[in-house]
Homo-oligomer: A and B are copies of this chain.
Amino acid sequence: MAERIGENTILLSRPPVILGAAAVGTPAEAAGPLAGAFDYLYDSAKAGAKTWEQAESRLQSKAVRLALEKAQLAPEHVQLMLAGDLLNQCMATSFAVRGLHIPLAGVYGACSTMALTLALAAVLTESGAVQNAAAATSSHFCAAEKQFRMPLEYGGQRPPTAQWTASAAGAAVIGDRGEGVRIEAVHFGRIEDYGVTDSANMGAAMAPAAAGTIASFLRDTETRPRDYDMILTGDLGAVGTRLLLQLLAKEHGVSIADVHADCGLMLYDRNVQDVHAGGSGCGCSAAVVCGHIVPRLRARTLRRVLFVGTGALLSGVSPLQGESVPGIAHAVLLSGDSERM
């Protein structure tokens, strides 16, 4: 039975378990500091497909298949897949899931999708509605640039605030029993919009939502930042991270600097790789969480991680119509510990 506490946090009294998680990437991710965290790295961004969109689908379906393998489950033992991506009409997901024959609840949360799918999968699993659920997402630099900005061939300049869309995917299989990392609580976030209209500065657009969700989660659970080994945002990058720390201090009187990490700052080496303010895209936090964080929780080198996925809810059209960029952030509490919160 799920229990609501505080304003909007959901505690899961029989915490669902991540039975298997996998990350898939491409050469940009293979050149980064987390290369070793990936379960599979394609040696080309095309991943053997004909188009960027189809390549992204391959990344996602590969991640799901690897997560299923690790969970030692066949697709028919998973009653529901929660998945989405950044492409128009979540195209990467539809074609990735088509071949898996798992019932699909499509989800859209922009770059917060991994957190959103994990949160929904956890609540649905705990409720008894499904025994096993899969949560997955993906993104692709080339498909995203073409769709949101310019075709790569145009060679457009990117401002320093821009983030680099990961060509990566992550997937997790969540079960109602078993050994593994547990999802102990989830928090669905509200849209926050501080009027940022620069669609090349997603970090600034998403930071207020991240601050709101983190502050709200801490209040609801009556916990402090030091109760967590890590408060992991995904993906604010360098600009958004600075703003997040400022907003939390100024508006909520909370300092998380000691425990904060950001997936967008972990996936690439900004000194060597040309990723400007850091990584982004649904696949960024998905790969970092599924490939790097979950194994560390399993190994108990981390015990309690609050993963806060952040999304910028713009389209290719909305900034051209003068709209600002709404941000959202969803949180899931991941625990490798045997003691409950």
Contacts and interface: CB of A to CB of B under 8 A. Distances in A.
A242 to B, nearest CB: 24
Interface string A103-138: 111111110000010011001101111110000000
A88 interface: yes
Interface stretch (A24-32, A183-191, A243-251, A284-292): A183-191
Most buried by B among A110, A128, A189, A316: A128
A326 B99 CA distance: 10
A98 B129 contact: no
Interface stretch (A40-48, A226-234, A317-325): A317-325
A2 B1 CA distance: 10
A193 interface: yes
A131 B313 contact: no
A121 to B, nearest CB: 11
Contact of A79 (B4, B119, B130): B4
A259 interface: no
B110 A89 contact: yes
A289 to B, nearest CB: 18
Contacts of A84: 106, 108
A130 B80 CA distance: 20
A88 B191 contact: no
B314 A89 contact: yes
A173 interface: no
A221 interface: no
Contact of A53 (B89, B123, B318, B330): B318
Contacts of A94: 191, 313-314, 318, 326
A308 B137 CA distance: 26
A33 B326 CA distance: 38
Contact of A103 (B3, B8, B90, B313): B8
Which 4 pairs from chain A and chain B are nearest by CB? A127-B127, A94-B313, A106-B108, A2-B129
Interface of A: 1-4, 8, 10, 50-51, 53-54, 79-80, 84, 86-91, 93-95, 97-98, 101-110, 116, 119-120, 123-124, 126-131, 186, 188-191, 193, 313-318, 321, 323, 326, 328, 330
26 contacts: A1-B127, A3-B128, A4-B128, A84-B106, A84-B108, A87-B315, A89-B108, A89-B313, A89-B314, A90-B313, A91-B314, A93-B108, A94-B313, A98-B326, A103-B188, A103-B189, A104-B191, A105-B109, A105-B188, A106-B108, A106-B109, A106-B313, A107-B108, A123-B124, A124-B124, A127-B128
